[in-house]
């Protein structure tokens, strides 16, 4: 079995319904804020999270080839890191993103160990 096939199996095993897990992480993030800090999920982040869920679903259950699935998964991880940065920008540096960060870490952990990931971090905010 190739490494990319292992990724597909790992994604299927870990995230049989990624959208539900993502929705749960967003809800837990919203509930985990202190009372005086409102959690704002901007429209762009909502679209990005939908795209992430779509990419993960395509990796797990789509019909594309293994190489394309690896690319889709890497894109989902990059989109997730950008969405986390956007949430910090629109909310506060004190926002508690732990539930979303944990889901993000699990996604990164499923990448094959040889596969480098290039994150696009914007630290100029």
Number of domains the chain is built from: 1
Host domain of residue 85: 3-109
> Is residue 53 domain-resident?
yes
* Distance, CA of 32 to CA of 67 (rounded, Å): 38
Alpha helices per DSSP H over the chain:
3-14, 18-31, 43-61, 66-90, 98-109
The pLDDT assigned to 59 comes to 93
* Better pLDDT: 101 or 32: 101
The predicted model scores a pTM of 0.82
> Is residue 38 domain-resident?
yes
> Is residue 8 domain-resident?
yes
String of DSSP letters for 111-123: S-TT---------
- pLDDT digits 0-9 by tens, 78-107: 999 999 999 988 887 778 889 999 999 999
The pLDDT assigned to 6 comes to 86
**Mean per-residue pLDDT over the chain, rounded:** 84
> Is residue 121 domain-resident?
no
The pLDDT assigned to 107 comes to 94
The pLDDT assigned to 125 comes to 43
């Amino acid at each position: 079995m190739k490494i990319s096939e292992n990724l597909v199996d790992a994604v299927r095993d870990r995230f049989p319904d990624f959208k539900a897990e993502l929705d749960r992480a967003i809800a837990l993030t919203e509930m985990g804020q202190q009372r005086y800090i409102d959690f704002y999920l901007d429209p762009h982040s909502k679209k990005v999270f939908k795209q992430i869920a779509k990419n993960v679903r395509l990796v797990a259950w789509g019909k594309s080839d293994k190489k394309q699935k690896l690319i889709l998964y890497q894109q989902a991880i990059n989109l997730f890191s950008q969405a986390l940065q956007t949430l910090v920008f629109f909310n506060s540096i004190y926002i508690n993103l732990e539930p979303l960060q944990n889901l993000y870490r699990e996604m990164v952990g499923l990448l094959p160990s040889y596969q480098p990931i290039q994150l696009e971090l914007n630290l100029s905010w």
